[in-house]
Amino acid sequence: MSPWGLDKATLSLCAAKVGKLGLAEMVRDEVEENLLLHAERLPSIDADQLIDDYHRLIKLTNPEPVPYPDKHRVRSSRSLIRHEAVPVLLSAIASKPDWRLTHNTKHFTQAVAQRTSLRIATAAAFFRELSVGSGKRWLRSPGQKRPSASESLRRKNSA
């Protein structure tokens, strides 16, 4: 991760408890596996720092774990998205997020967003939406109930 950028800004919102990070166990396992592979190629001191930074990030963001989806559900949901992304998509659906932020716009398309009723965006699109004000209704404090679609629509129409 770069020293600064929109991804880090998003994680900073989670660390500040402005938002809540839902982290699929599948994604967490993949990230940790890739970090260890990368760390093996670094000098020992740099590898230790990388792992320490990752543990600090997890502690600061305090992600809400999202369990692996059921294998039968994965098989039956292949029509939603390309097969290798089905478990991640099902984890996102199960966590009922306000936003699904991703750089993987090849798989997580607007068509997938429409089929699943997920709000899918890159970090840049997320911040653009928040900056114009219409995204405020999608950002809630931890523990605050997510507005229903009809409540969100009423707010939008009354604005």
Task: List, for residues 43-91, the tens digit of each pLDDT value.
Answer: 999 999 999 999 999 999 999 999 999 999 998 888 888 768 899 899 9
Which pLDDT belongs to residue 152? 43
Strands 100-101 and 22-24, bridge-based pairing: unpaired
Mean pLDDT, rounded, for 11-30: 90
With cut-offs at 50, 70 and 90, classify the pLDDT of residue 145. low
Residue 130 · residue 139 · CB < 8 Å = yes
Q: φ and ψ at 143, to 5 degrees?
A: 90, -15
The token pair that represents 113 in the structure block: 């967003």
- Work out the mean pLDDT of the chain and round it to a whole number: 83
The whole-model pTM stands at: 0.71
Which DSSP state fits 99? -
The domain limits of the chain are 6-158
Mean pLDDT, rounded, for 22-28: 91
Going through 9-158 in order, the beta strands assigned E by DSSP cover 22-24, 64-66, 100-101, 120-121
Asked whether the predicted pLDDT for residue 158 surpasses 60, the reply is no
List Cβ neighbours of 77 (8 Å cut-off, separation of 6 or more).
86, 89, 90
Lowest-confidence segment of 4-8, 88-92, 130-134 by average pLDDT: 130-134
Percentage of residues of the chain with pLDDT beyond 70: 81
CATH of domain 6-158: 3.40.50
Which DSSP state fits 121? E
Asked whether the predicted pLDDT for residue 124 surpasses 70, the reply is yes
Mean pLDDT, rounded, for 131-156: 52
